[in-house]
Amino acid sequence: MPAAAALLAAVVIVLARPAREADAATPQPATRGVAADSTAEDPDDAEPVEPPSDTEDGTDVEIEAADSIEAGAMEVEVGAAGHDGSANLQRRRVRFQDRDISADAREGAGDPLAGAVFRGRAFTIGRFTPRWGRGLVAGVPEDPWRARWGVTSPAPRGRSLEGAAIRKGPLELFAGRQSKRGLGGARLYRGAASVGVFANAHGPPLASFALDREDQSSEIAADPAGRWRAETRLERQVGEAQLVARVRGGLPRLGAPTDPKRSTPAQALTLIATRPWSSARASILGAWWRFRPGRVGSRGALAVERELSHHQRLAIGLEEQQGTRREIPRALDGIRQGVWSEWRGGPPGLGLALRNEIWGEGPWVRREVRRSSLAAVELAGPAGSTVRITHGVFRVRSGESLYLAEAESDRLVLRAFTGSGERTRLDVTAPLAEGQARATVGMTATAGRPPRLQWTVDWTRRLSTRRTSPRTGSTRGGGSNPEEDG
């Protein structure tokens, strides 16, 4: 019956009229940076944090921030990070954006986001993640359980490649190395349709046929043995409700055997509906997936967000998860019911956020496995300076992990917690030397262990690479001596 209901809903979505606006997650035919679009987790987002599916249990995840700089700008950032008991890790980042070209380089010992990419109108060189269609062949497919609107899954660094891509007319080629394996691909596209071949040094070639439009994207992939996989994403407007359906089908294996930790479900159905009601918005997600017989999972979630007076916001959600999100069994597999609430508000210059989240493995959120309560205060100071203090407590059963998102200047850190303890974080930003300085100190205190400290300091300065005419105020590009961005 649930499958029939899901199919009925999918039919409604198909027959409904297309959405008026394109979804931000609509895949682009060109190659993209590893995680330039990885906004799946936002510390200001009320929904519970979901780490990438291939994250090792209990480990932190660093995701490239989704911010971008305007054309004609260059940004320089230097910083350091560390924690008690470790040497300081220095980080450096330079990025540049112009009308036709852009560059982004990170360097730093032990920095998981280190790497460089240089993009032009017709080429990409460096570390990037190519993406075709729905990511079945090249790229990272969307996790069917992910609820966030219009956001793709974070692309783990391990799935990016070091190489190059070129585009010439209807032809796109890329080649490089990923996890010490050589791979490459070529595709032709005409309009919204594309057809390509993907070659991997350790597996059979894969063929891809994709269709990318504003309200619909589809991809069919197959290997020489006749194994196939197909996925379609539809977005429709039904009255005031916005509906999204993602359907995936195919055989459990496609091409070369994959790492079970990185495997994606062979069959999946995801339905998401969002409807506004005056100052409120309700979102519903239903998802089912299967890796292979016996390895299935599902998720149902309801979230209601309401804008209150004086820019306050209240969000409440509840959900149930069942089954597995990996092909290999884990201790975490099973039923989880969760309920969360978050309020944000406060007078001008003083922001306050309160949050509570509870997960249980029994009906009605009983037999608690994870709980967190959190408060954050942000004070706005002079000259754009801010002070943000976050304090929270967590209680996580052994074998489980609770993730909290913490924003740093150039990345988002999904920090894993287990056991019982507290987390306090101080985040200070202030103008410094014509740039912006930021310092964070985080302390985690858990039962039976001395408090652990983590810290970061960095300084960022954004410059303009275009000269401004003193008479007309117009700009022209290509100045050899960058000027400060006014």
Partner 1 sequence: MRALVRALALVGVLAPSPGRGQDFAPVVPGALSGGAASLLDDGLPAASDGVSLESGITRWFGLDALATRHLALGAGWRGVRVAAGVSQTGDPELGWTSFGAAAGGATRASPGLPGPPGAGGGYELGAGAWARAGERVVLHASAPQILLHSEAPPLPRGFELGATMDLDDATLWLAVRSAPRGQPVPPDHELGVALRLAGVRAWALVRDRPARAGIGLSARVRAIGIAAAVESHPVLGETTRLALILGQGEAP
Positions in the binding site for partner 1 (CB under 8 A): 308-309, 312, 314, 343, 345-347, 350, 352, 354, 356, 368, 371, 373, 375, 377, 379, 389, 391-393, 395, 419-422, 424, 445-448
Q: Which is closer to partner 1, CB of 38 or CB of 390?
A: 390
Q: Which of these, 472, 414, 326, lies nearest to 65 by C-alpha position?
A: 414
Q: How far is the CB of 458 from partner 1 (least distance, A)?
A: 24
Q: Which is closer to partner 1, CB of 8 or CB of 350?
A: 350
Distance CA 287, CA 435 (A): 45
Residues with Cβ within 8 Å of residue 308, at least 6 apart in sequence: 279, 314, 345
Distance CA 30, CA 364 (A): 46
Judge contact between 184 and 173, C-beta under 8 A. yes
Q: Which is closer to partner 1, CB of 335 or CB of 441?
A: 441
Q: Which is closer to partner 1, CB of 121 or CB of 366?
A: 366
Distance CA 223, CA 240 (A): 41
Q: How far is the CB of 47 from partner 1 (least distance, A)?
A: 19
The long-range contacts involving 172-176, CB below 8 angstroms and separated by at least 24 positions, are 172/29, 172/30, 172/31, 172/196, 174/31, 174/124, 174/130, 174/138
Q: How far is the CB of 416 from partner 1 (least distance, A)?
A: 17
Q: Which residue has the tokens 């609107």?
A: 149
Distance CA 197, CA 235 (A): 27
Distance CA 358, CA 318 (A): 10
Distance CA 208, CA 134 (A): 10
Q: How far is the CB of 467 from partner 1 (least distance, A)?
A: 44
Q: Which is closer to partner 1, CB of 159 or CB of 397?
A: 397
Which tokens go with 464?
């303009």
Q: How far is the CB of 308 from partner 1 (least distance, A)?
A: 7
- ∠ CA(278), CA(282), CA(285), 5° rounding? 160
Q: How far is the CB of 436 from partner 1 (least distance, A)?
A: 23
Q: How far is the CB of 1 from partner 1 (least distance, A)?
A: 36
Q: How far is the CB of 372 from partner 1 (least distance, A)?
A: 9
**Can you name the residues that pair with 99 across neighbouring β-strands?**
none
Give the up-direction half-sphere exposure of residue 259: CA atoms within 13 A in the CB hemisphere.
9
Q: Which is closer to partner 1, CB of 26 or CB of 356?
A: 356
Q: Is 199 helix (H, G, I), strand (E, B) or coil?
A: strand
Q: Which is closer to partner 1, CB of 99 or CB of 367?
A: 367
Q: Which is closer to partner 1, CB of 52 or CB of 421?
A: 421
